Amino acid sequence: MLKKVLLGLCALPLLAQASIQAPTGARVALAYNEPGQAGSQGVHADAFMIPASTQKVLTALAASLYLGKEWRFKTRLLAPTGALAQAKQTGVLQGDLVLEFNGAPDLTRQALVNLLAYLKQQGISQIQGDLLLDTGNYAGYDRGNGWSWNDLSICFTAPASAVIVDRNCVYAQLEANQIGETAQPKVPAGQPIQVTSDAKVVALKEYYAGCELRVDMNTGNNYHLTGCIPPQQQGKPWPLSFAIQDPTAWGESLSAWALARAGLSLTGQVKAVRHAPANLEEIAHLPSAPLYKLMDRMLKKSDNLYADAIARALGHLYLNRPASYATGAEAVRLILKNKAGIDLGSALLADGSGLSAHNLITANQMLQVLDYMALHDDELGIIGLLPVAGMSGTLGSRGSVQRAPLLKNVTAKTGTLQNVSNLAGFLTTASGKRKAFVLMVNGLTFPPKVRQALKAHRISSPHYPFERAVLEQIYKEQPVQITD
Per-residue pLDDT tens for 368-381?
Answer: 999 999 999 999 99
44 and 79 fall within a common domain: no
The active-site residue, picked from 56, 300, 413, 435, is 56
Q: Is the pLDDT of residue 180 over 90?
A: no
Looking at the domain assignment, is residue 147 inside a domain?
A: no
Domain boundary among 216, 243, 270: 243
pLDDT greater than 70 at residue 214: yes
pLDDT at 318 over 80: yes
Q: What mean pLDDT comes out for the span 289-305?
A: 98
Integer Cα distance of 260 and 336 in angstroms: 45
> CA 178, CA 141: separation in Å to the nearest integer?
41
User: Same structural domain for residues 235 and 258?
Assistant: no
Q: Which of 40, 53, 324, 461 is catalytic?
A: 53
Rounded mean pLDDT of 313-324? Answer: 97
pLDDT at 11 over 80: no
Are 401 and 472 members of one domain?
Answer: yes
251 and 326 in a single domain? The answer is no
Q: Is 302 labeled as catalytic in the residue annotation?
A: yes
* Chain segment 37-76, per-residue pLDDT in tens: 887 888 999 999 999 999 999 999 999 999 999 999 999 9
Domain match, 457 and 322 both: yes
Residue 105's domain comprises 74-140+247-287
| 239 shares its domain with 102 | no
Catalytic-residue membership of 53: yes
Q: Which of 194, 195, 191 is nearest to 183 (CA)?
A: 195
Q: Is residue 145 part of a domain?
A: no
Instruction: Identify the pLDDT of residue 17.
Output: 61
Helix 363-375 × helix 56-66 angle, to 10°: 40
Reported as a pLDDT band with limits 50, 70 and 90, residue 177 is: confident
What does the buried/exposed string (b/e) look like for 56-95 if buried means 16 or more CB atoms within 10 Å of the residue's CB?
bbbbbbbbbbbbeeebbbebbbbbbeebbeebeeeebbeb
Beta bridge partners of 49: 361
* Mean pLDDT to the nearest integer, 355-363: 97
Q: Is residue 151 part of a domain?
A: no
Domain count within the chain: 3
Report how far residue 433's alpha carbon sits from residue 192's, in angstroms, rounded to the nearest whole number: 53
Amino acid (1-letter code) at residue 364: N
pLDDT at 358: 97
Average pLDDT, the chain: 92
At 379 the three-state DSSP class reads helix
Q: Which residues contact 233 (CB under 8 A, 6 or more apart)?
A: none
pLDDT tens, residue by residue, 304-313: 999 999 999 9
d(C-alpha 180, C-alpha 183), whole Å: 9
Of the chain, the percentage scoring pLDDT greater than 90 comes to 74
The answer to whether position 418 is within a domain reads yes
Looking at the structure, do residues 357 and 372 belong to the same domain, yes or no?
A: yes
Please name which of 329, 321, 319, 366 lies closest in space to residue 351, comparing C-alpha atoms. Answer: 329
Is 377 found in the same domain as 447?
A: yes
Residue of 153, 253, 255, 302 with catalytic role: 302
